[in-house]
Amino acid sequence: MTIMTFAAALNAGLRKALENDPKVLIMGEDVGTLGGVFRVTDTLQKDFGNNRVIDTPLAESGIVGTAFGLAMRGYRPVCEIQFDGFVYPAFDQIVSQVAKIHYRTQGRVKVPLTIRIPFGGGIGAVEHHSESPEAYFAHTAGLRVMTPSNPVDAYSMIQQAIALDDPVIFFEPKRRYWDKANVDLEHPLGFPLDRARVLRTGTDATIAAYGPMVATAMAAADTAESEGRSLEVVDLRSLSPIDFDTLESSVRKTGRLIVVHEAPVFAGLGAEIAARIAERCFYQLEAPVLRVGGFDTPYPASRLEMNFLPSPDRILAAVDRALAA
């Protein structure tokens, strides 16, 4: 076991993928010489060469379009979109071409393409650097969407994503890049990629979260425990597909569900999760499924972002409403 930051775990996972398969390539703005804005790709170009770790022009549509062609030719490219708000120039490539070619060719063409996107707020960044666009991609058939919440999953999930023959949108919670944990570098791949993980068992209510909000949900559960309430925390990990079986099993036990994400509540992933659980657990629910998320505004200036982002207190307020129902 090695103590690693989230960013270092991603770096180790990318290194392992490059070592294991010569068809794996990394490409993006400043991923080579600089090692990426967050240093996730640090030293990889030095060790694997500029034919494997490629600095690209500042052109997201070109990055994804080139990677799309490489994937169809048998390579396994890993694109880095420098910040979440920069993915939109490549949106047409992703949803119109990358997501659809496998279906259009009746399975003859595979697209083993991984698109890494740092997402979410909490780092005091400027405009267009703190978005939560996951619902756009989860809504698009043909894409897998996933997000690790901790260094252990970061190390394993990035390798699993790259090994898939499907296109993957891989969201990395940027404010968790400096979180640390013990990472097993020898046996990382035991947990299925598309399975949710119950991080904490409880009896009074279930909190479902993903990416940056998992740590916040765990903090809320710690506070609740000190107040005599027992909360179960489920890390969804995969956003498309979503592991509704694990979530349903938890809700059937607790009778209540609070879904937490940074994106605005309106038409966010919480809405789909709430609808599915209401259908599947109608007779077990003791209260309506509640959602806690960002407000229905553009992401605010950095001085205001902590008022926008869900906090443990906002989660606990929703728990209070659920328990009072």
- The closest alpha carbon to 57, from 82, 35, 38, belongs to 82
Contact between 205 and 284 (Cβ < 8 Å):
no
- The closest alpha carbon to 291, from 307, 308, 315, belongs to 315
- The closest alpha carbon to 25, from 69, 57, 60, belongs to 69
The answer, yes or no, to whether the previous bond of 300 is cis (omega within 30 of 0) is no
Measured in whole angstroms, how far is the alpha carbon of residue 247 from the centre of its chain? 17
Is 128 annotated as catalytic? no
Q: Distance between CA 179 and CA 152 in Å, rounded?
A: 11
Q: Distance between CA 62 and CA 213 in Å, rounded?
A: 32
The 8-class DSSP code of residue 94 comes to I
- The closest alpha carbon to 132, from 275, 265, 5, 277, belongs to 265
- Tokens standing for residue 140: 């698009």
Q: Distance between CA 314 and CA 303 in Å, rounded?
A: 19
Phi, psi of 240 (to 5 degrees): -160, 105
The active-site residue out of 129, 139, 187, 261 is: 129
- Tokens standing for residue 207: 């909190």
Question: Which of the residues are catalytic?
Answer: 129
